[in-house]
Amino acid sequence: MHAWPASEVPALPGQGRDLRIHDTATDGPVTLDPGPVARIYVCGITPYDATHMGHAATYNAFDLVQRVWLDTKRQVHYVQNVTDVDDPLLERATRDGVDWADLAVQETTLFREDMTALRMLPPQHYIGAVEAIPGIVPLVERLRELGAAYDLDGDIYFSVDADPHFGQVSNLDAAAMRVLSAERGGDPDRPGKKNPLDPMLWLAAREGEPSWDGGTLGRGRPGWHIECVAIALDHLGMTFDVQGGGSDLAFPHHEMGASHAQVLTGEFPMAKAYVHAGMVGLDGEKMSKSKGNLVFVSALRRDGVDPAAIRLALHSRHYRSDWEWTDQVLQDAVDRLGRWRAAVSRPDGPSADALVDEVREALANDLDAPAALAAVDRWAARQEAEGGTDIGAPGLVSRTVDALLGVAL
Ligand code: 5CA
Ligand code: ZN
């Protein structure tokens, strides 16, 4: 499918910094050294109830990853999926009495509009699960040939015991994995499974649900994890730089995906860093489609909130922390945007050469966007208090904020 239009990223003077980022698998920082083309896969939405502030915060983090790389004059090869067929989407369509495919199209369209308004860089490949099915089927067949998949009443499961590295993304014990599996789309209690954690690769066609021709697999539809693996391997290959998503994807989704890919290719690891954003909450609970406690980007836009202010609000919390969306978070961002715009609209100001380095340094240090905001705040405060004579400074600040933070002043 098509993605959304890219906003331009201005080039900055001087040298960009290599990204040091927290990797869930090693539970520590890694300094990534991608080649001339950095490769990143970010899990996309399941298209219903998009785009809430939790989604936006997660995509914001991975937009920053790309901006840091682009600032080092690398190209970025970015792939994102859309889970446009899966249990939660079908359940929502049934609940609301709408066609599941129409719901997916409508919500994906809204997501594109929100991403465009927020100036999030688009993926080069934006791929739906449905369009990936022809690539998924041979992978499941291959896993069966390798003895890493088995049939259970027509459904096909992946055997987690086939991967010697299973468990090395999330580093959880078996009991914790079992709990999360049940909570997040797995079926650990289904009788007949070899290992309760084994995830579904291919679901045999069910009455009243969409299904596709799966060749030797029979009619059915793909499991969730193999969807992302097929798309990632097809467009990025193995051992790409970053696999990204919210922290709720570390297990089972990224754990299972890594195992599928590692068994399929015999290579390890699938990604050099597994990067996870914290969960955004509202009124003390994780913002989630199933709970319905959602603040939508589109609703704020309709209320006349400047998307640049939404973007600054997202930057105001570190991507790895769990945080609460409140009206005050947004109000602070609106105020900050006003101060920054006033500061750059003057014909001259204090030198901004050091500021470029401070913002670069902050973002290269595990995407410390709050520190980057603080650096710009200091420049804006100096501008307001004493001004300056550097006629290039306001423009340089604008370009820095645009290139590295995705905010047009
Ligand atoms: N389609 C799958 C990934 S393949 C999926 O998880 N879709 S989603 O629509 O449920 O979530 C899309 C992204 O937003 C995921 O990375 C998820 O971790 C993230 N996300 C969902 N809720 C929140 C939240 N409250 N805070 C932060 N990120 C969230
Ligand atoms: Zn995914």
The arithmetic mean of pLDDT across residues 154-175, rounded, is 97
Please name which ligand lies nearest the alpha carbon of 320.
1
Identify whether 7 is part of a domain: no
How many Å lie between the centroid of ligand 2 and the Cα of residue 268?
A: 19
Ligand 1 atom nearest residue 244's Cα:
16
The arithmetic mean of pLDDT across residues 101-126, rounded, is 98
| Entry pTM | 0.97
Domain at 333, CATH number: 1.20.120.640
> How far is the C-alpha of 60 from the C-alpha of 78, rounded, in Å?
14
The predicted structure's pLDDT at residue 270: 98
Identify whether 6 is part of a domain: no
Ligand 1 atom nearest residue 48's Cα:
9
Domain that holds residue 358: 305-405
How many Å lie between the centroid of ligand 1 and the Cα of residue 62?
A: 13
Q: Is the pLDDT of residue 219 over 90?
A: yes
Q: Identify the bridge partners of residue 220 per DSSP, sorted by sequence position.
A: 204, 212
Q: Is the pLDDT of residue 85 over 90?
A: yes
Identify whether 298 is part of a domain: no
Q: Omega into 269 within 30° of 0, i.e. cis?
A: yes
Are both 166 and 36 inside the same structural domain? yes
Q: Is the pLDDT of residue 287 over 80?
A: no
The arithmetic mean of pLDDT across residues 283-306, rounded, is 87
Are both 64 and 208 inside the same structural domain? yes
Residue predicted with more confidence, 288 or 22: 22
* 228 marked among binding-site residues: yes
The predicted structure's pLDDT at residue 286: 77
Are both 211 and 247 inside the same structural domain? yes
Q: Domain tally for the chain?
A: 2
> How far is the C-alpha of 46 from the C-alpha of 92, rounded, in Å?
11
- Mean pLDDT rounded to a whole number for the chain: 97
Are both 312 and 211 inside the same structural domain? no
The arithmetic mean of pLDDT across residues 188-214, rounded, is 97
Q: Of 260, 277, 294, which one is at a domain's C-terminal end?
A: 277
Q: Is the pLDDT of residue 73 over 80?
A: yes
Are both 310 and 271 inside the same structural domain? no
Residues having CB within 6 Å of any atom of ligand 1? 43-46, 54-55, 57-58, 81, 83, 228, 245-246, 248-249, 277, 279-280, 286-288
The predicted structure's pLDDT at residue 131: 97
* 171 marked among binding-site residues: no
The arithmetic mean of pLDDT across residues 122-129, rounded, is 98
Identify whether 290 is part of a domain: no
Alpha-helical runs (H) found in 205-352? 224-235, 255-265, 297-302, 307-315, 327-344
Q: Of 277, 296, 320, which one is at a domain's C-terminal end?
A: 277
Tally of CA atoms within 13 A in the half-sphere of 380 that contains its CB: 21
* 46 marked among binding-site residues: yes
Identify whether 299 is part of a domain: no
Q: Identify the bridge partners of residue 202 per DSSP, sorted by sequence position.
A: 156, 222
